[in-house]
Amino acid sequence: MKFLIISLMQFFFSYGNSIAGESIENDSSRVVFPTISVVATRDIMTPLAVFSGTSVINAEFINKIMPMQISEILNFTPGIKIRDYGGLGGIKTISMRGSMASQTVIMLDGIKLNSSQNGMIDLNVIPVALIDRILTTSGGMSAMHGSNAMGGVIDFGSNYNMQSTKFITNIGSFGERLLSLSGGTNLSRLNISAFGEYRTTNGDYSLNINQYGKKYNYHRVNADYSSYSFGLISGFSLDSSSHLRLSSITNITDKGVPGAILQGSIESLTARSEEFYSITSINYSKLFSESMFLKSSLSYKYSENHFADSKYVPLDYSGNTNFYTNDLTFSGNLRLKKKYFDLNFSTELFHSQLTGDMLDKTLGGEVERSGFSLGLTSEFRQISDYLRVVAATRLDMFSDNSSALSPFLGVILMPFDGAVEIPINISYNFRVPSFNELYYLNYGNSDLKPERSTSVNLGARAQMSEYFNIQSNVFYINTTDMILSVPKSPVQWSAQNVGKVDSYGFELDLSGILFDNLLSYSFAYTRMNVIDKQLESPNYDKLLPYFPQESLGLTLFVTYKDFVLGNTLNYSSFAYSLRDNNHSSIIDNYLIYDVSLTRKFNFEQYAFQLRFDVKNLFDTDFEIIKNYPMPGRIFRASLQFIYGENQ
């Protein structure tokens, strides 16, 4: 009932406020450059993104993949690693360039989604029906985004200006079902868009397991999953230069938590999780003149997590955990264009609160944090037609932890009359400890300080033509004071600032269209090493767990008349699951091939699309997380119907 009341309050709150879609398009201070990735040109949303490795995924590419969940799209971007705990309902987190999930910022329309409780976000809370573009910026970005932006930033963009109605239904193996409905309309200066999405699965996929030397075939149990997402986005043009926008998005999840598959224990049959997540935001933008632009936002995030397992009762634990988080954030940006430089002033204020029954007993079940930041970015103009320079810094202060200063320096060299761009940057970044790391029962350490990292990027990009686009980057990230779990006793661990890590590698991103739109392709390759550099550690110079040295994503779509044949391939080299790189901890390499066939029908304002997919065509047994097997071959059939202008 509490979930329903909060959702209804969000709906009525959002109905009375708004923003017009033009607010983004009228942002004269935004930079446009030829994005070299799996998609076409798109504006860059922050002043620093263009000075680093950037990839963009647009609505056309998302529609070609036709994902059941948002994580399925990101495997085709270099430098990105999805940690998937198996099946539709398994937790899915993301990291970039060898960073941890808590060291990567995840945003929705510029609003940070990372949890103040653990620093991460489960990608399952982001509804597929809402997203029509994804911008990834690789490398340290704390000078723009503050805490957590050590490995990079991923900003999911919503389709805030819908002018058509779209219905999608999808059925698949293991009881997979997807239903989504979205649409919008323009009423003079008012735009209203809404969506609803339902995903479910039985999760009973087949498992081939070795138990004490004997091989058995099981079906996953207690892996069922149901997720409901819905939301409303409204916009209003106050005048030709002022705009308001309000969005309200809610996700409700109920799922089993089968756990790891270990010798003598296939899964937990009783563990359940109920989750509620909502985010409401108001955005205001004002274009004062061609040289001055103001943008501000106020956002509120609320989440609940209820976990229960009657058969797991360790010390000080009843088998049930309940957590409630509240985050209120205000941010503002003022951009000024001067004769010789462009300035961006930013500020942010936030307050976070966590209530739960697994916090340190001396805290009374509740912890809080407030923070304030000031930032300045300056891009110097008219230095040369072949050179761009930017300098930025940001100061973050916290009520319960040390402050952090984050500088950024970047240049772009543009030889050959600007046909090639060579972005170079160096930055100093940080992550403030999460509430769990500071205050979790029998684990947290209130003396923790922020993690720090130095990030360096050297890249090159060129858009030869529509036939061939290329972007490559070489990167290095040195992380110090990394927070790791250290044993205090045979049965108890504690968070400590003891880790030192070097991450370095190479990324390659190719894309293009051939033979008069008959063939479109993309190729993403990453080669990297993530190395333990803690001198006192017995694991010095060894690879960190769950970071393969090589990964590859390939897409190939053949379009003939109203038919589209899709081919996607994902490869990952082996990785270790333990820090000592023991042979028994090896997670085998894997190669996954998916194929799809789509038939399109168009009748005036109506458009239909029939599609058939085979995921993991060769039924490969593989794991991304040790002892969490991924599903084998999956068959899916889908129908998409669109009515209106945006077909």
Average pLDDT over residues 252-270: 83
pLDDT at position 42 is: 35
Residue with tokens 């973050």: 396
pLDDT at position 385 is: 85
User: Can you read off the two tokens belonging to residue 98?
Assistant: 């060898």
pLDDT at position 629 is: 92
Q: What is the band of 28 on the pLDDT scale with cuts at 50, 70, 90?
A: very low
How many alpha carbons fall within 13 Å on the CB side of residue 403?
8
pLDDT score of 8 more than 50: no
Of residues 214 and 601, which shows the higher confidence score?
Answer: 601
pLDDT at position 30 is: 30
Residue with tokens 């949303």: 45
Q: What is the DSSP string of 520-587?
A: EEEEEEEEEEEEE--TTSTTTTPBPTT--SEEEEEEEEEEETTEEEEEEEEEE--EESSTT--GGGEE
pLDDT at position 36 is: 33
Of residues 32 and 302, which shows the higher confidence score?
Answer: 302
pLDDT at position 270 is: 86
Q: Rounded to whole angstroms, how far apart are CA atoms 137 and 410?
A: 14
% of the chain with per-residue pLDDT over 70: 90
Least confident span in 218-222, 313-317, 325-329, 533-537? 313-317
pLDDT at position 319 is: 67
pLDDT at position 548 is: 96
- Output the 3-class SS for 154-185: EEEEECCCCCEEEEEEEEEHHHEEEEEEEEEE
pLDDT at position 223 is: 92
User: Can you read off the two tokens belonging to residue 380?
Assistant: 């110097």
pLDDT at position 310 is: 75
Pairing of strands 387-398, 550-560: unpaired
Residue 618, phi-psi category: left (phi > 0), alpha (psi -120 to 50), beta (remainder): alpha
Do residues 97 and 104 make contact, with C-beta atoms less than 8 angstroms apart?
no
pLDDT at position 206 is: 87
Average pLDDT over residues 272-280: 96
Of residues 644 and 22, which shows the higher confidence score?
Answer: 644
Q: Is 421 exposed, middle or buried (0-12, 13-18, 19+ CB in 10 A)?
A: buried
Average pLDDT over residues 226-252: 94
User: pTM, whole model, 2 decimals?
Assistant: 0.90
Query: 281-325: per-residue pLDDT in tens?
Result: 999 999 999 899 999 999 999 999 999 987 765 545 556 899 999
Average pLDDT over residues 337-355: 93
Q: Rounded to whole angstroms, how far apart are CA atoms 156 and 63?
A: 15
pLDDT at position 644 is: 81
Q: What angle do CA 195, 198, 201 make, to 5 degrees?
A: 160
Average pLDDT over residues 519-529: 96
pLDDT at position 313 is: 56
pLDDT score of 610 more than 90: yes
Beta strands in 99-175 (DSSP E): 104-108, 111-112, 131-138, 152-158, 164-172
Which residues are bridge partners to 614 per DSSP?
Answer: 595, 635
Average pLDDT over residues 604-628: 93
The closest alpha carbon to 140, from 503, 402, 546, belongs to 503
Average pLDDT, the chain: 88
Least confident span in 117-131, 153-167, 244-258, 550-564? 153-167
Beta strands in 437-514 (DSSP E): 451-465, 468-489, 492-514
pLDDT score of 27 more than 60: no
Q: Rounded to whole angstroms, how far apart are CA atoms 574 and 549?
A: 8
Query: 92-110: per-residue pLDDT in tens?
Result: 999 999 999 999 999 999 9
Average pLDDT over residues 204-228: 84
pLDDT at position 338 is: 84
Q: Which 3 state secondary structure label does DSSP give 272?
A: strand
Residues 6+ apart with CB under 8 A from 185: 162, 163, 191, 192
Largest CA distance in the chain: 74
pLDDT score of 39 more than 90: no
